[in-house]
Amino acid sequence: MQGFVPALVAREILIRGAYVRGRGMLAFLVLCVVMAVSATCELVEWSAALLLGQGAGQFLGTQVDAWDTQSDRVLALIGAVNALALRSRRHDREIAALRLRPSSH
């Protein structure tokens, strides 16, 4: 979910704001946003460990997995690719339907 949900949010913002044209560039930017969000989460984890006075060894020991950061990032990327592959067409239809609705204000 770490990559799946941010991918859909980023995609919607980029489409509805008309910030990008072209499906290839849209997918690329969505993946960039997801990886940036994932990196930010990892930096927050690291900062929390420093603020709590844990050394890197202790922090990695509490994570149980020395490759936790890398696996989190890869899983975020996999989630984002799945979101793009599985939801893009439906997402496009949902956004188009929103544009067709009369505004309530």
pLDDT one-digit tens code per residue, 26-80: 999 999 999 999 999 989 888 887 888 766 666 555 666 778 889 999 999 999 9
What are the residue boundaries of the structural domains of the chain, listed by start?
4-100
- pLDDT attached to residue 85: 97
Give the confidence band of 101 by pLDDT, cuts at 50, 70, 90: confident
What DSSP assignment string belongs to the chain? Answer: -TTHHHHHHHHHHHHHTT---SHHHHHHHHHHHHHHHHHHHHHHHHHHHHHTT--HHHHHHHHS-TTHHHHHHHHHHHHHHHHHHHHHHHHHHHHHHHHHSPP--
Q: Which residues contact 7 (CB under 8 A, 6 or more apart)?
A: 30, 31, 33, 34, 79, 80, 83, 84
Measure the CA–CA gap between 30 and 47, rounded to whole angstroms: 26
pLDDT at residue 81 above 70?
yes
Closest to 34 measured CA to CA, from 5, 59, 61:
5
pLDDT at residue 24 above 90?
yes
